Amino acid sequence: MICGRWVYVLWSLSLVFSLFAGSLEAQTKTVVRVGFIAEQTGVASMSGERGIRATKLAERQVNTAGGVNGTPVEVGIYDNNSTTQGTVNAVNKAIEDKVIALSGPGRSTHIQAVSPIIKENAIPALIPGTAVQLTRQGNPWLFRVRPDDSIYGTAMAQFLMRDLKLTKIGIIHDADAFGTGGADIVTETMKKSNLTPVRRERYTVGTKDYTAQLLNIKNAGAEGVVLYTTNSEDAAVIFRQIKELGIKWKIVGCPATTSQVVIDLVKDASEGAYAAVDYFADANSQSKALRDAYFKEYNQEADFLTAYPYDTLVFLVDVMKRAGTTTDRNKIRETILATKGYKGAMGTYSFTPNGDGIHEANLVQIRGGKPQYIRTISVEQQ
C-alpha cells in the first residue's frame, strides 16, 4: 500500500517528539503562576504589547515586595493572536501549565468563548471585558475588574443628552459583542429620554475605510456621535476620516478611543473628543503611581490598556495573601468576592455576588493630546 517506509519513520519520529516535548513541560518550582492572556500577535498586538509591559511591571513590583508571603510570582504570557480561536488555545495551554488564576482574556468576545472552559476547569479569571452579560451567565469564576457597559454606555448617552444638550445623536460601533452591546445600551438610555439615534452604523473590526458609515450618519443630521470601538486601531482611522471629511461632531467615545495608541496615531484628529474611561492617571494615588512607574520604565504614557493588567496582578497577589493560599482556587474565589473597598489604579473594588468589581467611571475630554478629567460617575449596584 504505501511505499517509502521512510514516510512512516518520519511520521513516527514526529509523534515521538511530542512524547518528549510533553514530558518536558512538567516543571516543579515553588512559584505562583498566573496566566496572562495577551494579544501578543495579530491585529491588536499594539494594544497587547502595552498590557504585557504593564503586567511585567507589576510582576517585578510584587516580587520586590516579597511575592505572596515569600513565594515569588511568575506571569506566563499566553498569546492569543488577537483571535477567538487563539484565545481558546491560550487558555487551554495556561490551564495545562497549572496557573493558579487567569488575567484576561481582554475582549468580551473572547471571554464569551472561553467562559465554558473556565467554568469547567474551575479557575478564577479576572476579566476586563465590559459586555454586561459576561457576569450574568452563571459562571462563578469570572470576576470583572472594570465597570461594565451599562455604566459606560449610560454615562456616554447621558453626557451627550444632558451636558452637551444634543438631540440628534448617531452611533458607530463594531460588530463585536462589546460594540454591539454598548450600542444597544446607548440606544436604551436614549429611549428613556424619549430619543432615538438618528442613525446607527456598524462595521467589522479591522475595517480600513469608514466613508460610507460616516457619511450616512452625517446625512442623517447627527450633531453628536457615540463611538463604540473595540480596537484602538479602528478608532484611530475613524477619527482621522471624520477630520478628512470635514465633519464637525461632538464625539463621545468608549475607553478604547482614549488609549495612547489612538492619540499617537491620529495626532490632533481626536482633539476635543470626549470619552468615558475607567483608568485615569490623576484619579487617585495608585493611578498616579502607576503612571509614574510605567513612564519611568518604558517612557510611555500609561492608559487603561496598561492599568487593568497591572491592577489585576497586584490585586491577585493581595487576594492570595488575604486568603492565605497559593493553591486553593476556591478560597481565592471566596476572598475575591469578599473584597470591599480595595483601592487600585482603576478605582475602588467592591465585588458584588455576581462578580462585578468596579462601579464607577470617569468622563474625560482630550485636550492637548491628553485626556483631561471632567468628573466621575458612579452607579449603585443592585
Partner 1 sequence: MSFKKGLPVKIPFYLAVAIVLAALPMLIRSNYWVGTLNLAIIYSIAVLGLNIILGLTGQLNIAQAAFWGIGAYTAALLNTRLGWPFWATFLVAPPTAAAFGVILGFPTLKLSGRYLAMATIGFGIIINLILNNWKEFTGGVDGIPGITSPVLGPFRFSTNGSFYYLALACLILAALTQVKIKNSRMGRAFQAIKDNELAAELSGVDTFKYRVVAFALCSAYGGMAGQLFAHRTKYVSAETFFIDMSILFICMLMIGGAGSVAGSIVGACLLTFIPEWLRFLQGPWAMAIFGLAIVVIMIFMPTGLAGLAKSVGSKMAVRLRPESQKEPAELPREASH
Partner 2 sequence: MFDITTLAQFLVTGLAMGSVYALVALSFALLYKAVGILNFAVGESVMVPAFIVVILLSVLRLPFLPAYLIIIGVMVFFGAVFHRTVYHPLRGRPFISVLVSTIGASLFLRNTSLLVFGADPRVSPALFQVQSVNFFGVFVPPQYLLIITTLIILVVFQYWLFEKTLLGKKMQATAQDRDMARLLGIPVDTIILITFIYAAILGGIAGILLAPIFYVTSDMGFMFALKAFASSIAGGLGSIPGAIVGGLFIGVVELFCAAYISATYRDVFAFIILIAVLLLRPQGFFGEKVSEKV
> Where does this chain bind partner 2 (CB under 8 A)?
41-42, 45-46, 49, 175, 201-204, 207-209, 211-213, 215-216, 219, 233, 236-237, 243-246, 265
Minimum CB–partner distance for residue 335 and partner 1 (Å): 28
> Distance (Å, rounded) from C-alpha 243 to C-alpha 239?
6
Minimum CB–partner distance for residue 259 and partner 2 (Å): 13
Confirm or reject binding of residue 341 to partner 1 (CB under 8 A). no
How many alpha carbons fall within 13 Å on the CB side of residue 198? 19
Q: 163-202 mask for partner 1 (x: CB under 8 A)? A: ------------xxx-------------------------
Site for partner 1 in 107-136 (CB under 8 A): 109, 112-113, 115-116
Which residue, 213 or 229, is less far from partner 2 as judged by CB? Answer: 213
Minimum CB–partner distance for residue 47 and partner 1 (Å): 17
- What angle, rounded to 10 degrees, do the helices at 108-121 and 84-96 form? 30
Give the residue, chosen from 161, 171, 205, 265, that forms a contact with partner 1 under the rule CB under 8 A: 205
> Distance (Å, rounded) from C-alpha 59 to C-alpha 104?
15
Which residue, 261 or 332, is less far from partner 2 as judged by CB? Answer: 261
- Measured in whole angstroms, the distance separating CA 343 from the mean position of its chain's CA atoms is 19
For residue 105, cis peptide bond before it (omega within 30 degrees of 0): yes
Confirm or reject binding of residue 17 to partner 1 (CB under 8 A). yes
Decide which of partner 2, partner 1, none touches 46; Cβ closer than 5 to 8 Å per partner kind.
Answer: partner 2
CB within 8 Å of 366: residues ≥ 6 apart: 258, 263, 270, 271, 272, 273, 274, 275, 372
Return the residue matching grid coordinates 482556587.
329
**Residue 372: count of CB within 10 angstroms of its CB:** 12
- What angle, rounded to 10 degrees, do the helices at 45-64 and 285-298 form? 110
Minimum CB–partner distance for residue 123 and partner 1 (Å): 14
Confirm or reject binding of residue 235 to partner 1 (CB under 8 A). no
> Distance (Å, rounded) from C-alpha 222 to C-alpha 182?
19
Decide which of partner 2, partner 1, none touches 219; Cβ closer than 5 to 8 Å per partner kind.
Answer: partner 2
Task: For residue 87, give the C-alpha cell.
Answer: 484565545
Q: Extract long-range pairs of 239-244: CB within 8 Å, 24+ residues apart.
A: 239/266, 239/269, 239/270, 239/273, 240/265, 240/266, 240/269, 241/209, 241/210, 241/211, 241/214, 242/214, 242/269, 243/269
Which residue, 237 or 252, is less far from partner 2 as judged by CB? Answer: 237
Which residue, 85 or 204, is less far from partner 2 as judged by CB? Answer: 204
- Measured in whole angstroms, the distance separating CA 289 from the mean position of its chain's CA atoms is 20
Confirm or reject binding of residue 47 to partner 1 (CB under 8 A). no
Confirm or reject binding of residue 65 to partner 1 (CB under 8 A). no
| Stretch near partner 1 under the rule CB under 8 A, chosen from 9-17, 140-148, 218-226, 241-249 | 9-17
The DSSP result for 248-262, as a single string, is --EEEE-GGGGSHHH
Decide which of partner 1, partner 2, none touches 6; Cβ closer than 5 to 8 Å per partner kind.
Answer: partner 1
Which residue, 96 or 244, is less far from partner 2 as judged by CB? Answer: 244
Binding site for partner 1 (CB under 8 A): 1-8, 10-12, 14-15, 17-19, 21-23, 25-26, 41, 79, 81, 83-85, 88, 92-93, 96, 109, 112-113, 115-116, 175-177, 204-205
